Homo-oligomer: A and B are copies of this chain.
Amino acid sequence: MPKQPDPARRSERSRQAILDAARELVSEVGFAKLSIEAIAARAGVGKQTIYRWWRSKGAVVFDAFLALSEGGEGMALPDTGDIEADLRLVMRATVAEFADPAFEAPIRALNMEIINDPDLAAQYREKLAGPVDEAKKARLRSAQRAGQIAADADLDLALELLYAPLYQRWLLRTGPLTPEYADALVDLTLKALRPPV
């Protein structure tokens, strides 16, 4: 029986130091050149302490950014009654976030991990993307009730229509991320979801 480590005895000080070091190093050298040895050295921690609590380099980095973003549980999107205005606001904010060069390296690192590791992807969906998507769908449902969106629209698909183009542009660097682009996406998506006349 491969003895499991006892979470009760875990050193919080070490955990924090490791996550901090991971965040710093991802920003400094990028995810590909990040090594567990470097994290351990920077954190002043034995390598075993990392291997004891995380499965892989990716899991550490993932946790590092998960810890940052935690607390989006009960989030809600603005609901002024005007779905187009509300979505523009949200999409423009998203575009701005992605365009911020300070987040470039870490977000890209996080995405590489999610893309390559289905387990992490599941965890990501559950802990981070899930709640946020729920909030977004809640707003769309509200618009459905208001008759601004077709009652039978597939809201998951609707979210993909809104966000996937943005995500793809950022990931593949195929074009600029501007407020106008955000507006155009909202515009097209709402046209696609408009209830039948």
Q: How far apart are A2's CB and chain B's nearest CB, in angstroms? A: 14
In the complex, whether A98 has a CB less than 8 A from a CB of chain B is no
CB pair A175–B156 under 8 Å, yes or no, is: yes
Which one of A20-28, A47-55, A74-82, A108-116 contacts B? Answer: A108-116
The size of the chain A interface, using a CB distance under 8 A, is: 34
Q: Which residue of B lies closest to A125 (CB)?
A: B174
CB pair B165–A157 under 8 Å, yes or no, is: yes
When distances are taken between beta carbons in the complex, the residues of chain B under 8 Å from A185 are: 157
In the complex, whether A189 has a CB less than 8 A from a CB of chain B is yes
Q: How far apart are A63's CB and chain B's nearest CB, in angstroms? A: 19
- Interface residues in A59-78 by Cβ distance below 8 A to B read none
Q: How far apart are A128's CB and chain B's nearest CB, in angstroms? A: 12
Q: Given A32-B116, A112-B116, A192-B191, are A169 and B160 also a contact pair (CB < 8 Å)?
A: yes
When distances are taken between beta carbons in the complex, the residues of chain B under 8 Å from A165 are: 157, 160-161, 164-165
- Interface residues in A138-197 by Cβ distance below 8 A to B read 154, 156-157, 160-161, 163-165, 167-169, 171-175, 184-185, 188-189, 191-194
In the complex, whether A118 has a CB less than 8 A from a CB of chain B is yes
- Interface residues in A70-121 by Cβ distance below 8 A to B read 108, 111-112, 114-116, 118, 121
Known: A115-B172, A168-B168. 19 other contacts (CB 8 A): A32-B116, A112-B112, A112-B115, A121-B172, A125-B174, A154-B184, A156-B175, A157-B184, A157-B185, A160-B164, A160-B165, A160-B168, A160-B169, A161-B165, A163-B168, A164-B167, A165-B165, A167-B168, A171-B171
